[in-house]
Amino acid sequence: MLIKQIPIRNSLSNYMYLLACEQTLEAIAIDPLDHDLCLQVATDLGWLIKTVANTHHHHDHIGGNGPVIDATGARLVAHAEAMDAIPNVDRGLYAGDTLQFGEIILKVMDTPGHTMSHICLYFSGTNAEQPALFCGDTLFNAGVGRCDFGGEPKVLYNTFAEQIFTLSDDVRIFPGHDYIQNNLEFTLDREPDNQSAIDLRAKFQEGLDAESFVSNIGIEREINVFFRLDQAQVREGIGAGAQDDQSTFIELRRLRDNW
């Protein structure tokens, strides 16, 4: 699968994605907010956008749908329960559904918590290519989505416990925003002795740019404090509120909201 991660460089640091089949160059656009840039990149690459997919209904993810669809004739797909919040959805998606473009198949995951109708798209990989997760605002590099714009922390925890923590270490992560440097600071605020986070922060301070760094679940288990719910330093920092993984996750989310 061909993957083009496109940073928008707006105030929210959104990423949009173009994914294409190497054989047919048929493509899917995920959350193409900057529609002009998305269309230009697709044209430059010779990719044919057949589908626009939204991970969830927030405006910074759906705001570019119309012009991309007008220019390409693509169909719009989104979570079935987001269809009243996203105009002109052609196909509502459920857990386990698949999206095909050319010879590539993505599996739909139903991942509520940031909003109550949020999907992630999972590519299972090949012999030559590692799996990949296009995770919108569910999972970020070194962080997780906030829940105060229509979500619910307990539901987000359940999504992680049941569907994200269980992914294999080699699954590459392609989130909806570039928040990694701020998120690393939060991890280190909660777990100052986290050597992997210290080392990665140093690389960014030395000039590593976010687009040339692709994280995976194995890396997230080390640098993302929301994956480190049983670590003594994380729990001690929270105190009495850290009774189990769920309460620790929820308390971390609350602390991050106010951080």
Residue closer to Zn ion, measured from CB, 101 or 226: 226
The DSSP bridge pattern shows strands 26-30 and 48-53 to be parallel
* Angstrom distance (rounded) from CA 50 to CA 30: 11
* Angstrom distance (rounded) from CA 233 to CA 216: 23
Residue closer to Zn ion, measured from CB, 6 or 62: 62
Least distance between Zn ion and beta carbon 117 (Å):
11
Least distance between Zn ion and beta carbon 111 (Å):
12
Structure token pair of residue 81: 């329960």
Least distance between Zn ion and beta carbon 56 (Å):
6
* Angstrom distance (rounded) from CA 136 to CA 240: 32
Residue closer to Zn ion, measured from CB, 58 or 235: 58
Provide the binding-site residues for Zn ion, judged by CB under 5 A: 58, 137
Structure token pair of residue 2: 């061909």
Nearest-CB residue for Zn ion = 58
Residue closer to Zn ion, measured from CB, 26 or 178: 178
Least distance between Zn ion and beta carbon 103 (Å):
31
The DSSP bridge pattern shows strands 132-136 and 139-140 to be unpaired
